[in-house]
Structure formats: structure tokens, C-alpha cells
Amino acid sequence: MDIEEVMDIAVRFLTKSGYPTYKLLSIKLDHAKKEWKATFDVGFITTMIISLTIDDASGRIIAYDRT
């Protein structure tokens, strides 16, 4: 997978989850685990950080964390 594919998967997830606005903070590939970590600020007025972990081979979201 490349960054564009990871971004598409993450944005579809955020939109379906009810977050209409988002700001990309980072996308990183962990080569050892073969997982992408995408971090977004989805807060409208205040900061709300969401991190998604996406499997590189399947493109599936395997972890979701909201802080």
C-alpha cells in the first residue's frame, strides 16, 4: 500500500464514523510490524486526536484510539 491508499481508507472510516472535518497530523509505516499509523485531529472547536492502525497487507483497520 502507499500513502494515498492509507489516506483513502482512513478518510472513509472517519466519514462513516461521523467525523465530517479532520486534519491529517501524520501517517507513518512501521516496517517491522507492517502496519500504518494515521493520526488525525477531528475536533471542530477543541482538539480531538484519533489514531488509526491499518494493516499494510490487507488494508483493514486493526486499531482505533481516540484521545
Grid cell, residue 15, equals 466519514
Specify the DSSP element, H or E, that contains 2.
none
User: Domain-by-domain residue ranges, the chain?
Assistant: 3-66
The answer to whether the pTM exceeds 0.75 is: yes
| pLDDT tens for each residue of 13-61 | 999 999 999 999 999 999 999 999 999 999 988 999 999 999 999 999 9
The answer to whether residue 4 scores a pLDDT higher than 90 is yes
CA distances from 44 to 2, 54, 59, 66 (A): 28, 24, 28, 15
| pLDDT tens for each residue of 35-47 | 999 999 999 889 9
The answer to whether residue 67 scores a pLDDT higher than 90 is no
